[in-house]
Amino acid sequence: MKFYEDEFKTFKEKESKQYPVLDKEQARLIQKHVEDFRKWGLEHPIFHFFLKILPIITCITLWFFLFFYLPILEISKTTFLFIFSILYGTLSYSFVVYTLHECAGHQSFRTYPLLKKIMFNLSRLKMADPEYYKSCHSSHHNHLGTMKDCAFTNYIAFPRFFKSILPGAGIIFPNDYNIHQNPIRNKSRVITEIIGFLFLSLEFYLLSQFLGIWESITILVFVGPWIGMALDRIRETTEHRLMPSNNKYGATEWGLNPLGLLLGGGPWGQPCHFSHHFAPDLAWYQQIRLHLKFRSILREDQKEIYFMSKEKILSFVK
């Protein structure tokens, strides 16, 4: 992902300098809940492990449904094309968000050496480079909203954002607004491209048994990736936009509403991004629990800043 100094300059001019931090009692309550969540995970290792691997199991199950069961249902071709394209795009996006963010970025399975390696590399199936993302994500959490933030999205100019969500971005024409793939073709990127191409070839073979060659290519190469990229760019462009350069308070979250779950990549994605930045080590289900605690503990003026609202959405549009 390319860093533009003019975007950073605009951000510093418009950055939210005044933001409502937690008072002492709020901070105490939140810290207590975070510690309780961590303790629960340690005391229930089997259930904790199951919940962490559940998103992978779910995505794989849905993938098999898409390629082996949906094509044999008695529905019209037009209906099939529409349903398959939407489900394929959103499922691929959900898979990439979880495998990159949790499995690569935060090493969720680090206590299981062999499984850790497998999970770390899963995102390569969808052309997403875990090595690049890991290093980038580390700087993002340590230097949020600064020039050292490899995934700086506190202000993205509209033309750049709009170009990134056009069909074919990064395929037909270059797209430098993307933290899933290293702009430099190194060893890790080449490995990612090879594995991704092989998996894409498998998907093409399976889908072409029911559709024509060009229909299959259009869905797998253009429509599906476009849906995922559009959702990802909308989420990342909005959740940090003009938020302060603060590792804890520099994010807002869409929440558990339908739109938040769609943009976040499912409940195991990033619908609760403010909660994640407050306690980055928490697993996806613990982030949801923390989000619910924030809902009950924060004041209204704090919720207006850290939770997405109609007013915030309208301000983005303007």
3-state secondary structure 118-131: HHHHHHHHHCCCHH
Give dist(CA 230, CA 315) in Å, integer.
19
pLDDT value for 34? 97
pLDDT value for 201? 97
- Which residues form the domain of 47? 5-317
Give dist(CA 288, CA 265) in Å, integer.
13
Please report how the helices 284-297 and 24-43 are oriented relative to each other, as an axis angle in degrees rounded to 10.
Answer: 150
Q: Is 260 exposed, middle or buried (0-12, 13-18, 19+ CB in 10 A)?
A: buried
pLDDT value for 318? 62
Tokens for 57, please give them.
């199991």
Give dist(CA 167, CA 111) in Å, integer.
40
pLDDT value for 317? 66
pLDDT value for 84? 96
Contact status, residue 59 vs residue 268, Cβ threshold 8 Å: no
Cα dihedral across residues 104, 108, 113, 119: positive or negative: negative
Tokens for 289, please give them.
């629990």
CA end-to-end span of the chain? 25
Amino acid at 49: F
- pLDDT per residue rounded down to tens, the chain (318 residues): 889 999 999 999 998 778 899 999 999 999 999 999 999 999 999 999 999 999 999 999 999 999 999 999 989 999 999 999 999 999 999 999 999 999 999 988 988 889 999 999 999 999 999 999 998 999 999 999 999 998 899 999 999 999 999 988 877 888 888 877 888 889 999 999 999 999 999 999 999 999 999 999 999 999 999 999 999 999 999 999 999 999 999 999 999 999 999 999 999 999 999 999 999 999 999 999 999 999 999 999 999 999 998 777 777 766
CA angle, 196 then 202 then 205, to 5° = 140
State the CB neighbour count (10 A cutoff) for residue 311. 8
- CA-closest candidate to residue 94, choices 252, 234, 231: 231
Give dist(CA 113, CA 50) in Å, integer.
17
Cα dihedral across residues 108, 112, 115, 120: positive or negative: positive
**Number of domains observed in the structure of the chain:** 1
Tokens for 135, please give them.
């290093």
DSSP label of 282: S
CA angle, 255 then 263 then 120, to 5° = 100
